[in-house]
Structure 1
Amino acid sequence: MPLDPQIGALLEAGRHLPPTETLSVPAARAQYEARIAVMAPPARVVRVEERSIPGPTGLPLRIRVYMPEGQGPHPLLVFFHGSGFVLCSLDTHDGICRNLCAGAGCVVASVDYRLAPEHPFPAAPEDCLLATRWCAEHAAELGADPARIVVGGDSAGGNLAAVTALRLREDGGPALLGQLLLYPVTDWHAAGWPSYAENAEGYGLTRATMAWFWGHYMPDPGPAVSHPHAVPLHAASHAGLPPALVTTAEYDPLRDEGEAYAERLRAAGVTVACTRWLGLNHGFYFWAGRVDRCTAAMEEAAGWLREVFAGRPPAWATAHR
C-alpha cells in the first residue's frame, strides 16, 4: 500500500537533517537523541527506577526498570534498544518501554548495553546475556516473576534479543517464555535481500546507514559475518527457541531478513506470529500516539505479550496489516 500519510509527513519534516552515515558518531547520537522532543507522551507507569549491576568486564552496567499498575509479582520483559548497535539510549526508548510496560502489565528492564565503535562486537550481546541472567536471578527485587520472562528489542535490539534467546538455549537458561522481535536485524547488510534494494533510500533508515552501522559494530568482520551471535539467521538450528512475535515494515530495508527469520523459526517448530505493517517504515514504534497505525502496532505487541505471559502464545503466518 502507499506510504502512510502520517509517516510521510514525519519523513518530510526530517528531510533537512544530514544522513546518519555522513556524521561523526557523537553528532549522529545527538541527532537521534533530539527526536525525543517530538515523540508523543507515553503511557503512565507506576514507577521508574535505575539500577547499576555488575557488568561482564567488572564495570557497572545500567538498567532502567519500569513498574506497571497492580499487584506483583509481574511478568518481566528484558528490553534492548535499537539503532545499529551504535546510537540511541535508555532515554530514546523510554516511551516504547513505558508503553509496553503499561500495555502488557509487565515489569520492563531496559538494558544500557555498551555501544560500538567504542565497544564493538561481541560487547553488546555479552552485556545483554549477563543482564538477562541478572534480572532472572534478582526477579524478586524487581517485583517480577522469574518463571515469566520474555526478551525483546527493536532493530539492533531485536537482533540482541534473538541472540540472547539462542545463547540461553545453548547455555542452559534461564528459560524464556518468548522473544519480542520488532523489525529485527537478523542478517549481514550485504546479504542481498530484495527489501534492501526496494527501500535503499527515502524511507528513513537507508542501505548506506546500515553499512555504516555494521562498519562500526564489526569493523573487521571476516568470518564473523556468519556468526550466529552477530547474525542469528545463520544459527545452525533454531529448534527449541521460545515463541516469537516478529514484526516488519513494508518500507524497511530489514523487512525481508526479519520475515526470513520468522520462517526459519517456524520451520524449526517454534510458535511464531509475524506481522508486516503496510505503509510503515523502520522505527515506527517510536510514533505510537502520533501515528494511528503505529499506535495499533504497539497495541498488537502489548497484546502478544499479555497472551505469552498467560501461557497462550499466539501463532499466525505473516499477516499484512
Structure 2
Amino acid sequence: MSFLQYCFDKCVAVLFRTVTAFLSYMRRGAPKAYPDEVRYIPSRDASRTIKVHVYRTSSATGPSPVLINFHGSGFILPVHGADDEFCRQMSRETKCTVLDVRYRLAPENPFPAALNDVQDSINYVLGRPDEFDTSRVSLSGFSAGGNLSLSASANLFPQDTFHCVIAIYPVTDLYTNAHDKVAPNPLEKKQIPPRVARFFDRCYVPASFDPCDPRISPSFAPVDQFPRRILMITTDGDTLAPEAETLGSELAKRPGSQVVMERMVGCWHGWDKTTKPGSPQQEAKERAYRMAVEMLNE
C-alpha cells in the first residue's frame, strides 16, 4: 500500500469510526460494557499488551471451560465491548469463563495483525491450565470476529484444540468482489453497501497478500482442518450469508461433524445489536444466543 493510499484509507476509516460512534450514541447512548475484570494479556510484541474483558461463570469449580470471543468490526471499527450482552449470557448460562478480546484494527494494523492477536490470546488461555480447562476451549465471533475465529481454528491450531466454534454472520470470502455478493433477501434495505465492504476488505488485506489465503478467507481452507463442532448463524438480509452457508454445508459433509446452521429471516448483518423488545428480530436474537448456549453446553 502506498503512503498516499494509506493516508486516504486512514482518513476514511476515521470518518467511518466517527459516524458509527455517533449513530450508536443516538440509538442507545454511550456504549458500555460491564465485565467482571479487565485484563491485559501478553502479546508477541514486547512493547504492547492485548486488552481482554473477562466474564466469570458462577458454576465453575476449579479450572473452567472458556469461550474466547472476537467482536465484529469490519476489521476497522473500534467496537470492543459491543458483545457485552452475549458474553454475559454465555457466562451466566454455561460453565464458561468468557474472554472478550480487543484485537488490532486496520488500516493502521492490516493482516496479519488481528489474527496474530487472536493466536496470542488463544495461546494465553492454553498456557494457563490452572485457571482454564484447556480441553474445553471454544471460540466465537461476530462478522469480522467470526472470520478470525474460523481462520484461527482452521489454520493455526490442531483440529482437536477447540470444543466448538460459534460464527455469527461471519465474512468467510474476501476474494470475491463485494459487488458480486447478493443477499438471500435482496430487498432488505440494511445491507452493507458494496463500496463499504470493498473499502473494509482493502484496509484489512494488503496488496502483498493473496485474498485466497485461507487465513484471510476461511472459505478456502481445507474442510478437514476445521473443528468438528460448528454453529453458523446467518441472516437473509446479509450479502455475506451465502458464502458462510456454503462453507457450513461443506463442513457438514465430513463424517462425524456436528455443524448447526440457521438463517435468521427478517434480519440483517449486525441485527442483534439493534433489536427492539417484542420484535421478530429480538426473537431471532434470543434464538441465536440460545443456540450458542446449547452448543457450549453439549
Say if 1:258 and 1:33 are closer, same or farther in 2 by CA, change over 3 A.
same
Partner of 2:96: 106
Residues 1:64 and 2:53 aligned together: yes
Alignment of 1:220-299 (within 5 A): 220=207, 224-239=210-225, 241-269=227-255, 270-287=257-274, 290=277, 292-299=279-286
Alignment of 1:66-215 (within 5 A): 66-72=55-61, 73-138=63-128, 140-141=130-131, 144-169=132-157, 172=158, 175-188=161-174, 189-190=176-177, 194-195=181-182, 199=186, 202-215=189-202
Secondary structure of 1:280's counterpart equals coil
Q: What RMSD in Å do the two structures reach over aligned CA positions?
A: 3.1
Q: Once the 2 structures are TM-superposed, how far is the Cα of residue 23 of structure 1 from its aligned partner?
A: 7.0
Partner of 2:18: 30
Say if 1:166 and 1:281 are closer, same or farther in 2 by CA, change over 3 A.
same
Over residues 224-281 of structure 1, what are the superposed CA-to-partner deviations in whole Å (9 max), with x where a residue is unaligned? 1110000000013335523111011111110101101101211233310000001111
Partner of 2:204: 217
Letter in 1 for 2:164: G
Identical aligned residues as a percent? 27
Deviates most, 75-84 or 289-298: 289-298
**Alpha-carbon distance in 2 for matches of 1:190, 1:197:** 17
Structure 2 residue ranges without an equivalent (≥5): 1-8
Q: Once the 2 structures are TM-superposed, how far is the Cα of residue 133 of structure 1 from its aligned partner?
A: 1.6
Count of aligned residue pairs for this structure pair = 284
**Alpha-carbon distance in 2 for matches of 1:121, 1:194:** 22
- Contact 1:96/1:286 (CA < 8 Å) preserved in 2? no
Q: Once the 2 structures are TM-superposed, how far is the Cα of residue 128 of structure 1 from its aligned partner?
A: 0.4
**Alpha-carbon distance in 2 for matches of 1:253, 1:185:** 9
Letter in 2 for 1:51: R
Over residues 173-223 of structure 1, what are the superposed CA-to-partner deviations in whole Å (9 max), with x where a residue is unaligned? 77111000001100024177552596498314222211010011014155x
**Alpha-carbon distance in 1 for matches of 2:183, 2:264:** 17
- Contact 1:186/1:258 (CA < 8 Å) preserved in 2? yes
Over residues 13-45 of structure 1, what are the superposed CA-to-partner deviations in whole Å (9 max), with x where a residue is unaligned? xxxxxxxx9972123123323416634999x98
- Contact 2:179/2:194 (CA < 8 Å) preserved in 1? no
Say if 1:165 and 1:279 are closer, same or farther in 2 by CA, change over 3 A.
same
**Alpha-carbon distance in 2 for matches of 1:137, 1:310:** 23
Q: Once the 2 structures are TM-superposed, how far is the Cα of residue 146 of structure 1 from its aligned partner?
A: 2.1
**Alpha-carbon distance in 2 for matches of 1:258, 1:286:** 20
Q: Once the 2 structures are TM-superposed, how far is the Cα of residue 127 of structure 1 from its aligned partner?
A: 0.9
Q: How high is the TM-score relative to the length of structure 2?
A: 0.83
Letter in 1 for 2:296: F
Structure 1 residue ranges without an equivalent (≥5): 1-20, 312-321
Alignment of 1:282-321 (within 5 A): 282-287=269-274, 290=277, 292-311=279-298
Q: Once the 2 structures are TM-superposed, how far is the Cα of residue 107 of structure 1 from its aligned partner?
A: 1.6
**Alpha-carbon distance in 1 for matches of 2:57, 2:124:** 20
Secondary structure of 2:36's counterpart equals strand
Letter in 2 for 1:249: T
**Alpha-carbon distance in 2 for matches of 1:99, 1:23:** 36
Q: Once the 2 structures are TM-superposed, how far is the Cα of residue 305 of structure 1 from its aligned partner?
A: 3.6
Q: Once the 2 structures are TM-superposed, how far is the Cα of residue 138 of structure 1 from its aligned partner?
A: 2.3
**Alpha-carbon distance in 2 for matches of 1:221, 1:198:** 35
